[in-house]
Amino acid sequence: MTSAPTSQAINPTTKAEVLARALPYIKRFHGKTIVIKYGGNAMTDPALQASFASDVVLLKLVGMNPVVVHGGGPQIDEALNKIGKKGTFIQGMRVTDAETMEVVEWVLGGEVQQDIVGLINFAGGKAVGLTGRDGGLIRAHKLKMADRDDPSKWHDVGQVGEIESIDPAVVRALQDDQFIPVISPIGFGADNESYNINADLVAGKLAEVLKAEKLVLLTNTPGVLDKQGQLLSGLTAKRIDELFADGTISGGMLPKISSALDAAKNGVNSVHIIDGRVPHCLLLEILTDEGVGTMIKSH
Annotated binding site for substrate: 72-73, 94, 196
Which strands make up the sheet holding 65-70, listed edge to edge?
Answer: 127-130, 180-183, 65-70, 33-38, 214-219, 270-275, 293-297, 234-236
- Report, in angstroms and rounded to the nearest whole number, the Rg of the chain calculated over CA atoms: 19
DSSP character at residue 137? -
Q: Which residues are annotated as a binding site?
A: 72-73, 94, 196
Interior CA angle at 201 toward 94 and 116, to 5°? 85
How many Å separate Cα 156 from the centre of its chain? 26
Supply the angle between the helices 199-209 and 253-265 in degrees, to the nearest 10: 10
SS3 sequence of 63-85: CCEEEEEECCHHHHHHHHHHCCC
